[in-house]
């Protein structure tokens, strides 16, 4: 999935939580996501704002490993991405 692509499932659902990891190098954005994903209800969306290029690929990979769903990645106007993750459990 490239920046700006969205899966149909959950495309219009607003994030229940936004994690600002801008300026932080990997693995910090993933650590922040792992620490906070249980703060939202099941099926809710968490948006991770990140500008480290590793986060763009590492967060979707983390989702596959942890059985959460990478919903979409959107480019931010100021640089970086909003990476949307659905909590599955």
Q: What's 61's domain CATH number? A: 3.30.110.40
What is the pTM (predicted TM-score) of this model? 0.88
Tell whether 10 is covered by a domain: no
Number of domains in the chain: 1
Mean pLDDT value across residues 27-54: 98
In a domain, 7, yes or no: no
Residue 58 falls inside a structural domain: yes
The domain of 23 spans 17-86
Q: What is the pLDDT of residue 11?
A: 61
Question: Sign (positive/negative) of CA torsion 18, 81, 62, 45?
Answer: positive
Residue 66 lies in a domain: yes
Per-residue confidence (pLDDT) for residue 14, from 0 to 100: 95
Q: Is residue 9 part of a domain?
A: no
Catalytic sites, residue numbers: 26
DSSP 30-55: HHHHHHHGGGS-TT-EEEEEE--HHH
- Is residue 4 in some structural domain? no
């Amino acid at each position: 999935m490239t920046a700006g692509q969205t899966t149909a499932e959950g495309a219009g659902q607003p994030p229940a939580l936004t994690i600002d990891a801008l300026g932080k190098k990997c693995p910090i954005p993933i650590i922040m996501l792992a620490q906070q994903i249980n703060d939202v209800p099941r099926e809710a969306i968490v948006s991770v704002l990140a500008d480290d290029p590793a986060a763009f690929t590492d967060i979707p990979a983390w989702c596959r490993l942890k059985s959460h769903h990478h919903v979409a990645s959107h480019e931010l106007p100021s640089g970086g991405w909003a990476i949307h993750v659905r909590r599955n459990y």
